[in-house]
Amino acid sequence: MTNMGSIVRRSLNTIKNKTAIDDIFPQKEDSKYIARRGKLVELLRQKGISSPLVLQAIGKVPRQAFMPETLSELAYEDKAFPIGAGQTISQPFTVAKETEILDIQKNDKILEIGTGSGYQSAVLLECGCRLYSLERQESLHTQTKERLGKLNYKAVCLLKDGFEGLLYEAPFDKIMVTAGASEIPKKLLRQLKIGGIMALPFGEGQEKRLYRIKRLSETDFEKMDCGPCAFVPMLKGINRK
């Protein structure tokens, strides 16, 4: 009886520490989202995404969980949507393309610049990497760090200026920038290991191109143009509003 009483007390204490009923009784995902996600994967395959690892990751991540509830019915359209703080959740094709060009290997150490909604973060984690993710918008950082934790995605999420990178954890196997840069982020290039790859949207104004940059040596880099892309601008500093 003593053991049973102890178990009951521990269970009650656990419930008291929860903040939402869904944390205690997780709800099964609506089957309609699973079906739509399957169709999205097929669409991305038709659009040229060929990596089995990336397609599998897209097929696992519940995109609706990373969007405002009012937009959840649109979660599996291949479009970007606003998420607040002047930011967007990227178009699934863009997420898949950026992930594919990184050629992720299991346990790669990856730095993500722009956590945003956390959707891209979740896709990277489903690919089996170790993820460090930086966000300059304090409101987004707080919400997304909590969201990723509730969905059991384990990443190191930090409120930091993406242009500065994360020097004390460098070098990184891969770096992904999820905002459009109008200047080359040189500090990030220095934090990429030799042989490592960076995905970088770059260009002036609305004309951005997605580049795959590989570090060949201490001073040499190889650049490949992967086509046009659309991103919110990459900005410096931290916004604490």
126 neighbors 106 (Cβ within 8 angstroms) = no
Closest by CA to 180, choosing from 157, 205, 160, 213, is 205
Number of neighbours of residue 122 by Cβ within 10 angstroms: 26
The answer to whether residues 134 and 115 touch, using CB atoms and an 8 Å cutoff, is: yes
- Which position among 6, 31, 50, 90 bears the catalytic label? 90
Report how far Cα 190 is from the mean position of its chain's Cα atoms: 22
Active-site residue flag, 11: no
Angle 20-25-31 (CA atoms, 0-180°, nearest 5)? 110
Rg over CA atoms, the chain: 19
> In this structure, what is the dihedral angle of CA atoms 106, 224, 194, 200, given to the nearest 10 degrees?
-70
3-state helix, strand, coil in the chain (%, to 5): 40, 25, 35
3-class secondary structure, 6: helix
Q: Which long-range contacts (CB under 8 A, 24 or more apart) does 4-12 make?
A: none
Among candidates 230, 233, 234, 235, which has minimal Cα distance to 95?
A: 230
Quick one: which of 169, 168, 135, 154 has its CA closest to 239?
A: 135
Residue positions annotated with a catalytic role: 90
